[in-house]
């Protein structure tokens, strides 16, 4: 029984005592809460009183005890730069508007979250300390599902679980496309972060259609066809008329998105999952070059996952089962453990969808190409019952799972994701793999990765796993990701998304003209800078 130990009991006892009263935290840095630097206590208290009048006392969290869950994050924060001041949780659009009015008056910075489970990127914590979390979880209505068009319109607090339950209860023949933490996260939050899933609808922002946004001054805007009076096409046509603006509300702080539309995949008559097993780390280039034409032509239609062995092992096993030294695990140790569980050094999961006839026609073509790359092409026949195969089969058919969360236990709860984009060219993915291994190796971290393969690029998802409770390890993880961002950046490889601790660093790589444009948009739309300052490096 490794989970709840005597040490945990003692530690929880200490936390329990701390929860009894805020005086237990002698310094703000000891606790989960920090006030905004520019507001004195009295002004903050006045703002909190007004917020309570809007949402009710139960939905404003402004003391150390109630702020505790908002401060929890697996990303490194060695200098305590991401500590919230509290949280406010509206239940309606009108309450959001009233909150923004108060925030403008007091210059209270608000960090918006949908479900606050941005795993590996900071969860609910803000880009700078003192921001109050604008927690939209209570806005959890599934507003409309169009069963003929296969579209959804939902609020930010709706989880994939809620949507899944709704589709089941109403016997609607659609599949969701879920990220790896589907049950507890929201389609709105994930889409706005431009996250991905693993069916043919895996590029979530591509499948998004229409949104409703509250701007900082309270203006309510609907994008696309949603602002046409009596519109019946809001979730049917993305582009609307005139400039297309949905993009500026993703990975940004230009407004608060209160409704989001997106498309649902019709359940296919037939589905066949595959795994391709390659046994050498150096096979990465061959796999990417074999995959590229199939993704470009859409013969393989889903977002493919090419999973490194160490990442796969970490889902269901602990590091000490393989290796008891602080240095990175040698490749041979990983390979040997992986082999015992039916895994290779790279395990590539894709699926075919359609009818039995379509799948039968495509399978031999795909099989030949991957066999020529040196891989073993495996199906349910060989891999059925294998924990990893079953997991990816579930992901590729839109089923809910949290199994990949297991990787956070590898080294004591700390995990931060570095996510550079690579072009879908074998040589460059090989170079990225080599550079990542070199840097991680110097810090003693393991090369624990997944490549998510889109049409012409890959997200190289590199997970730095560390002991969050050891300050030296936390500092090391922070140093490591900064070095990775900087050195990958020097090669022209930048992140598609990053954690709260490195948002400014990554923004620098996208150049001054880009930053200045964002700054001008921000100044026009939110002149008091109350919405999520620091998000993606936008002040």
The correct pick among 48, 60, 83, 89 for binding other proteins (CB under 8 A) is 89
Report the interhelical angle of 309-316 vs 331-340 (nearest 10°). Answer: 60
Rule CB under 8 A: say whether 80 interacts with other proteins: no
51 SS3 class: helix
**497 tagged catalytic:** yes
Rule CB under 8 A: say whether 62 interacts with other proteins: no
Q: Which two tokens stand for residue 430?
A: 């090989």
For residues 379 and 316, the answer to whether their CB atoms sit within 8 Å is no
Rule CB under 8 A: say whether 74 interacts with other proteins: yes
3-state secondary structure string across 429-473: HHHHHHHHHHHHHHHCCCCCEEEEECCCEEEEEEEEEEECCCHHH
Residue 58 CB coordination number (10 Å): 9
d(CA 490, CA 509): 9
Nearer to other proteins, 318 or 368 (CB): 318
Q: Convert residues 437-476 into a mask of x (bound to other proteins by CB under 8 A) and - (unbound).
A: -------------------------------xx-------
Q: Which residue has 């490096």 as its token pair?
A: 537
d(CA 160, CA 178): 7
Rule CB under 8 A: say whether 34 interacts with other proteins: no
User: Which one of the spans 61-69, 277-285, 368-376, 419-427 is the region binding other proteins (CB under 8 A)?
Assistant: 61-69
Nearer to other proteins, 406 or 489 (CB): 406
d(CA 306, CA 303): 10
For residues 177 and 163, the answer to whether their CB atoms sit within 8 Å is no
Binding residues for other proteins, total number by CB under 8 A? 86
**496 tagged catalytic:** yes
User: Which one of the spans 138-146, 359-367, 431-439, 500-508 is the region binding other proteins (CB under 8 A)?
Assistant: 138-146
Report the interhelical angle of 64-71 vs 6-19 (nearest 10°). Answer: 130
Distance of CA 278 to the CA centre of its chain: 27
Rule CB under 8 A: say whether 170 interacts with other proteins: yes
Strand intervals (E) in 279-400: 304-308, 346-354, 376-378
Contacts with other proteins in 490-529 (CB under 8 A)?
A: none
CB of 196 to other proteins, least distance (A): 20
Q: Of the residues 106, 121, 198, 466, which is catalytic?
A: 121
CB of 116 to other proteins, least distance (A): 7
The correct pick among 277, 286, 295, 409 for binding other proteins (CB under 8 A) is 409
Nearer to other proteins, 162 or 478 (CB): 162
The correct pick among 35, 119, 265, 310 for binding other proteins (CB under 8 A) is 119
The correct pick among 75, 97, 253, 302 for binding other proteins (CB under 8 A) is 97
Rule CB under 8 A: say whether 167 interacts with other proteins: no
328 SS3 class: coil
Rule CB under 8 A: say whether 386 interacts with other proteins: no
User: Which one of the spans 71-79, 454-462, 491-499, 525-533 is the region binding other proteins (CB under 8 A)?
Assistant: 71-79
For residues 80 and 30, the answer to whether their CB atoms sit within 8 Å is no
Nearer to other proteins, 161 or 251 (CB): 161
Q: Of the residues 198, 349, 466, 496, which is catalytic?
A: 496
Q: Which two tokens stand for residue 440?
A: 């991680």
Nearer to other proteins, 216 or 506 (CB): 216
Q: How many residues does the chain have?
A: 539
Q: Count Cβ neighbours within 10 Å for each residue of 474-485 and write b for 16 or more, e otherwise.
A: bebbbebbeebb
The correct pick among 24, 28, 43, 92 for binding other proteins (CB under 8 A) is 92
Rule CB under 8 A: say whether 82 interacts with other proteins: no
Residues near 204 by Cβ (< 8 Å), separated by ≥ 6? 177, 179, 187, 190, 191, 194, 195, 196, 197, 262
Nearer to other proteins, 16 or 42 (CB): 16
Nearer to other proteins, 465 or 532 (CB): 465
For residues 183 and 258, the answer to whether their CB atoms sit within 8 Å is no
User: Which one of the spans 7-15, 188-196, 263-271, 290-298 is the region binding other proteins (CB under 8 A)?
Assistant: 7-15
For residues 213 and 249, the answer to whether their CB atoms sit within 8 Å is yes
For residues 160 and 152, the answer to whether their CB atoms sit within 8 Å is no
Q: Which residue has 């507003």 as its token pair?
A: 143
Rule CB under 8 A: say whether 94 interacts with other proteins: yes
User: Which one of the spans 89-97, 193-201, 417-425, 508-516 is the region binding other proteins (CB under 8 A)?
Assistant: 89-97
Rule CB under 8 A: say whether 53 interacts with other proteins: yes
Contacts with other proteins in 218-247 (CB under 8 A)?
A: 218-222, 227, 229
User: Which one of the spans 5-13, 36-44, 295-303, 500-508 is the region binding other proteins (CB under 8 A)?
Assistant: 5-13
45 SS3 class: helix
The correct pick among 24, 28, 81, 101 for binding other proteins (CB under 8 A) is 101
Rule CB under 8 A: say whether 12 interacts with other proteins: yes
- Residue 60: DSSP 8-state: E
Rule CB under 8 A: say whether 147 interacts with other proteins: yes
CB of 87 to other proteins, least distance (A): 8
Residue 277 host element (H or E):
strand 270-278
Contacts with other proteins in 293-352 (CB under 8 A)?
A: 315-318
User: Which one of the spans 132-140, 274-282, 423-431, 488-496 is the region binding other proteins (CB under 8 A)?
Assistant: 132-140
Q: What is the DSSP string of 111-137?
A: EEESSS--TTTTTT--SSTTPEEEE-T
Rule CB under 8 A: say whether 385 interacts with other proteins: no
CB of 510 to other proteins, least distance (A): 30
Contacts with other proteins in 195-214 (CB under 8 A)?
A: 212
164 SS3 class: helix
Side-chain-facing half-sphere of 249: CA atoms under 13 Å: 27
- Catalytically annotated residues: 121, 496-497
């Amino acid at each position: 029984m490794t989970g709840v130990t005597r040490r945990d009991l003692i530690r929880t006892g200490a936390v329990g005592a701390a929860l009894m009263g805020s005086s237990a935290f002698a310094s703000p840095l000891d606790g989960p809460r920090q006030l905004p630097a520019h507001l004195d206590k009295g002004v903050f208290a006045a703002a909190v009183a007004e917020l309570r009048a809007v949402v009710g006392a139960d939905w404003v969290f402004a003391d150390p005890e109630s702020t505790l869950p908002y401060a929890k994050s697996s990303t490194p924060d060695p200098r305590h730069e991401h500590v919230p001041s509290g949280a406010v949780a509206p239940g309606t659009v009108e309450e959001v508007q009233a909150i923004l009015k108060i925030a403008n008056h007091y210059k209270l910075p608000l960090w918006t979250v949908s479900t606050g489970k941005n795993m590996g990127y900071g969860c609910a914590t803000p880009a700078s300390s003192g921001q109050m979390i604008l927690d939209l979880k209570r806005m959890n209505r599934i507003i409309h599902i169009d069963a003929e068009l296969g579209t959804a319109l939902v609020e930010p607090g709706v989880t994939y679980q809620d949507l899944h339950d709704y589709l089941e209860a109403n016997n609607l023949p659609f599949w969701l496309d879920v990220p790896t933490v589907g049950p507890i996260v929201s389609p709105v939050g994930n889409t706005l972060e431009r996250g991905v899933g693993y069916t043919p609808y895996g590029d979530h922002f591509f499948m998004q259609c229409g949104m409703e946004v509250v701007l900082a001054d309270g203006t309510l805007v609907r994008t696309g066809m949603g602002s046409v009076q009596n519109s019946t096409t809001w979730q049917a046509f993305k582009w609307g008329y005139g400039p297309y603006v949905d993009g500026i509300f993703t990975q940004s702080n230009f407004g608060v998105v209160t409704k989001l539309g997106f498309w649902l995949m019709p359940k296919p008559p037939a589905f066949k999952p595959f795994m391709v097993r390659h046994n050498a780390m150096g096979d990465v280039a061959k796999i990417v070059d074999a995959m590229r034409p199939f993704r470009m032509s859409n013969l393989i239609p889903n977002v493919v996952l090419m999973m490194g062995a160490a990442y796969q092992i970490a889902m269901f096993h602990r590091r000490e089962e393989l290796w008891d030294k602080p240095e990175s695990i040698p490749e041979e140790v990983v390979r040997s453990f992986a082999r015992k569980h039916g895994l290779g050094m790279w395990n590539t999961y894709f699926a075919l969808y359609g009818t039995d006839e379509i799948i039968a026609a495509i399978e031999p073509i795909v099989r030949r190409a991957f066999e020529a790359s040196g891989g073993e092409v495996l199906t349910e026949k060989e891999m059925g019952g294998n924990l990893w195969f079953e997991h990816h089969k579930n992901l590729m058919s839109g089923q809910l799972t949290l199994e990949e969360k297991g990787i956070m236990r590898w080294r004591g709860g700390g995990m931060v994701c570095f996510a550079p984009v690579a072009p879908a060219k074998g040589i460059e993915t090989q170079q990225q793999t080599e550079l990542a291994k070199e840097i991680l190796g110097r810090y003693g971290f393991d090369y624990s990765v997944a490549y998510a393969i889109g049409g012409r690029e890959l997200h190289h998802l590199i997970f730095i796993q560390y002991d969050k409770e050891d300050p030296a390890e936390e500092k090391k993880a922070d140093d490591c990701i900064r070095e990775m961002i900087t050195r990958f950046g020097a090669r022209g490889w930048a992140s598609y998304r990053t954690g709260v601790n490195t948002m400014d660093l990554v923004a620098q790589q996208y150049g001054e003209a880009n930053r200045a444009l964002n700054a001008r948009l921000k100044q026009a739309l939110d002149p008091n800078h109350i919405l999520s300052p620091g998000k993606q490096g936008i002040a």
